[in-house]
Each structure stands twice: as C-alpha cells, then as structure tokens.
Amino acid sequence: MELKIALLSGDGIGPEVTQQAVKVLDAIAEKHGHTFTFTKADVGAIAIEKTGNPLPNETLEICKNSDAILFGAIGDPKYDNNPDNAIRPEQGLLKLRKNLGLFANIRPLTTYPTLIHKSNLKKDVIKGTDFVIYRELTSGIYFGEHTSSSDGKTASDSCTYTTEQIDRISHLAFKAAQVRRKKLTLVDKANALETSRLWRKRVTEIGQQYPDIKLEYLFVDNAAMQLILKPTQFDVILTENLFGDILSDEASVIAGSIGLLASASIGEKTALFEPIHGSYPDAKGKNIANPLASVLSAAMLLDYFSLHDEAEDIRIAVEKSIELNISTPDLNSTNHFSTTNVGNFLSDFILDDE
Ligand code: NAI
Ligand code: MG
C-alpha cells in the first residue's frame, strides 16, 4: 500500500517522539512491502515563529493532500505565561480539527501487566482494564457562543448539538464495540441538560441498528467515579466534547504514564494521529521523553487503513520493550533508556521478527 503522510511534529518533545514513530513506520514499510512517504509541515509555536500563523495555509494544504496526518505536540511556555497573547500555538490544532472536520477523537486505554504497579491506583482495581473513549471533537460547548457582559459580571458559553453530529460519531462507536466486547456506555447528563437528552434519544434509536451491542447509560458524575472504582466494566465509552475531555485525562492515570497514551481523530475525509500528551517543554532536546504514545498513534494510523497485522507488529514490539524494561525514565527510573534507544529497539525488533 502507498500512503502519503503529513508529518506535523510541532514543538517541545514533538519532533523527538514523532521521529521514533517515523522510524517504526519505516520498519513496517520495509517488512511488509509498503511505501509510506512523509511530508513535513510546521504547526504551533514553530509555525508562529516562522510565519506568524499557528496553522499556515501551506500546512493545511499539505494535510488536505495527504492520506493521514501524524502529529507531535504543540505548545511553548512563552505563550502560556502570557494569557493575553492573541495568537497561541494551540490554535493550530483547534483550527486543524475544525478545518478537516475531525469529529471523532478516539482514545484507547489498556494496562500492561508489567506496568500496573506504576499507577497510583490499586493493582487489583486496574488489572485487565481495556476500554476506548469516543469523544465528539468539533461541537458542543467549546464551539458554542461565548459571551461576557460589558460590566464584567456575567458570562455565558452555549452548548449545541445536532442529530447529525451525534449520529456520525455514534455509528463509529457502535461499530468499534462490535469488534470488541460488544458493550457501549453513553456518558451524559440527561437529568439536567437538553443536549444530553438529545444524545440519549438518538443513541438509543441508533442502538436498535446494533442489537448485538449492550447499551448502557451513565451520568457523567457517576462515570467519573466508576472509572476509578471499577475501570474494567467499560468497553466503549461514547460521550460529548467537554465530558470526553475531562474523563480521558482522568482515565490516563490508570495506564501509569501519559507517555503511553495514543489517539486518533477521525473525519469524513482524513484522520489525524497524535499522542494525548503535550509538548513537555522541560524535556525538550533531552532525549528522555517516552515515544510510545507517538508510536502507538502510528499503530492506530495503520489500523485506520486496515493494516491490522502491521499495527499488531507495532503493539507486540511495544509490549516487548515494556516487558524488557527498555523504557524512558517515566517508566524506568533506575536504568533508563533514551527516546532514540527505545525507537531503535522497536524498529530493530520489527525487522528482526521477519
Ligand atoms: P504535557 O503533557 O506536555 O506534560 C505534562 C507532564 O506529563 C510532564 O511534566 C511529564 O511529566 C509528563 N509527560 C508528558 N509527555 C510525556 C512523555 N512523552 N514522556 C514522559 N512523560 C511525559 O502537558 P503540560 O505541561 O500541561 O503542557 C505543556 C504544553 O503542551 C502547553 O503549552 C500545553 O498547552 C501544550 N499541550 C499540547 C497538547 C497537544 O499538542 N495536543 C495537549 C496538552 C498540552
Ligand atoms: Mg484536555
């Protein structure tokens, strides 16, 4: 298969971790006879420096002309310490999601047997956790009308959802449940919010087209509690934008390190793959950041193009590295390996396994 991949490494540790993902994809291409071509483009703080724009038109065009996007991370403390900055790196990612219509954010979470002691949570509680969050990404309160009164005493943010927006991600989530453990949990606040009542009505109706899936409902406050109390009860979690944002950060605690968590953002025409972490500015250039989230995002990219054996090769290599403790300091404090060491191990392992 030939794939054109836009490479948006971004800021901080973004370039270091994405480089390992590219290395791993190159190994997969070599082993399985595929051709993956990468086109680099600027986004975030680096793009602001060069062009004044966190998402230059040229970058957007490269993304539109590619089959998929591999994204690193964006953000620079220079902007965080000055909230009055009108132009910020993060706008690059928000604009990209909106422009490319990336409506479904998919965040899988599994636990590795050799890592469960890394989590702050009890081993017996998190053992065997394996779920995926489907978060709606281009609507809801973040994209509603934001107002504040001239006297500075009142502010509002409005939340809107249409059935079309609910339907498209719901179908993706039900289909995911079909090839998993056949359970879908809709997380909402239908006891208080009109948008949540619409979600519940539509998802219930859509559920009738998937009779093999067990559909359950949870209010978001209870879901926040259940995630920590009994995470193994979940298979596919479907939710709207704001709830998904909060719950997926909460859920990352279960895995042991944020440096392990990958994501995919899917649209009608294209898809973007990125680690869930940010640009971790303190680690920039130190070769200590965990590249596994980026590498596992590359595996999700392969799954998206139905290259499932190839994706599995990556996951097996990742599991092996964890098992052998060939890991960066976040997972291995005593005898750690560098970002590039881990990437080299993974690509060598994939090629040796031929
Ligand atoms: P962050 O995710 O960059 O770092 C938080 C902490 O997580 C770090 O101090 C480190 O302990 C750990 N961490 C993150 N990535 C890691 C990795 N690969 N390996 C090992 N440990 C890792 O979040 P923070 O510090 O809140 O934000 C830094 C910048 O990143 C900000 O400018 C923020 O706006 C931006 N950001 C960008 C995101 C994106 O590009 N999608 C997402 C989140 C934040
Ligand atoms: Mg967030």
Closest ligand to C-alpha of residue 297 is: 1
Q: pLDDT band for 84, please (50, 70, 90 cuts).
A: low
Quote the tokens at residue 283: 């680690």
Assess if residue 114 is contained within a domain.
no
Q: Which of 215, 234, 255 is the last residue of a domain?
A: 255
Measured distance CA(218)–CA(229) in Å, rounded: 14
Asked if 174 and 300 sit in the same domain, the reply is: no
Q: Domain of 221? A: 120-255
Closest ligand to C-alpha of residue 256 is: 1
Number of folded domains in the chain?
2
Per-residue confidence (pLDDT) for residue 71, from 0 to 100:
98
Per-residue confidence (pLDDT) for residue 30, from 0 to 100:
98
**What CATH number is associated with residue 346?**
3.40.718.10
67 part of the active site = no
pLDDT tens for residues 281-317?
999 999 999 999 999 999 999 999 999 999 999 999 9
Per-residue confidence (pLDDT) for residue 278, from 0 to 100:
94
Cβ burial 269-308 (10 Å sphere, 16+ → b, else e): ebbbbbbbbbbbbebbeebbbbbbbbbbbbbbbbbbeebe
Q: pLDDT band for 86, please (50, 70, 90 cuts).
A: confident
Strands 146-148 and 155-157: antiparallel
Asked if 125 and 65 sit in the same domain, the reply is: no
130 part of the active site = no
Assess if residue 212 is contained within a domain.
yes
Residues counted in the chain: 354
Q: Which of 199, 234, 255 is the last residue of a domain?
A: 255
Assess if residue 285 is contained within a domain.
yes
Amino acid in position 247: L
pLDDT tens for residues 104-130?
999 999 998 888 887 888 999 999 999
Amino acid in position 308: H
Q: pLDDT band for 332, please (50, 70, 90 cuts).
A: confident
Asked if 266 and 301 sit in the same domain, the reply is: yes
Assess if residue 113 is contained within a domain.
no
* Integer angstrom CA distances of residue 344 from 31, 319, 338: 15, 15, 10
Asked if 270 and 227 sit in the same domain, the reply is: no
Assess if residue 240 is contained within a domain.
yes
Assess if residue 110 is contained within a domain.
no
Per-residue confidence (pLDDT) for residue 81, from 0 to 100:
72
Q: Calculate how far, in angstroms, residue 229's C-alpha sits from the geometric centre of ligand 2.
A: 22
Angle between helices 339-352 and 308-323 (to 10 degrees): 120
- ipTM for the whole complex: 0.97
Per-residue confidence (pLDDT) for residue 354, from 0 to 100:
59
11 part of the active site = no
Per-residue confidence (pLDDT) for residue 257, from 0 to 100:
85
Q: Which residues sit with their C-beta closer than 6 Å to ligand 1? A: 13, 17, 73-75, 80, 90, 93, 257-259, 274, 277-281, 289-290, 293, 330
Asked if 125 and 101 sit in the same domain, the reply is: no
Asked if 198 and 277 sit in the same domain, the reply is: no
pLDDT tens for residues 231-283?
999 999 999 999 999 999 899 889 888 899 999 999 989 999 999 999 999 99
Asked if 342 and 264 sit in the same domain, the reply is: yes
Q: Which of 220, 255, 290 is the last residue of a domain?
A: 255
Give mean pLDDT, residues 1-19: 98
Cβ-contact 170, 198 below 8 angstroms: no
Assess if residue 115 is contained within a domain.
no
Q: Is 315 annotated for ligand binding?
A: no
Asked if 287 and 350 sit in the same domain, the reply is: yes
Average pLDDT score over the chain: 95
Asked if 243 and 178 sit in the same domain, the reply is: yes
Per-residue confidence (pLDDT) for residue 83, from 0 to 100:
64
Asked if 230 and 266 sit in the same domain, the reply is: no
Asked if 125 and 97 sit in the same domain, the reply is: no
Give mean pLDDT, residues 142-171: 95
**Burial (0-12, 13-18, 19+ Cβ within 10 Å), 83:** exposed
Nearest CA to ligand 1 atom 42: 278
Assess if residue 111 is contained within a domain.
no
Q: Is 107 annotated for ligand binding?
A: yes
Asked if 86 and 97 sit in the same domain, the reply is: yes
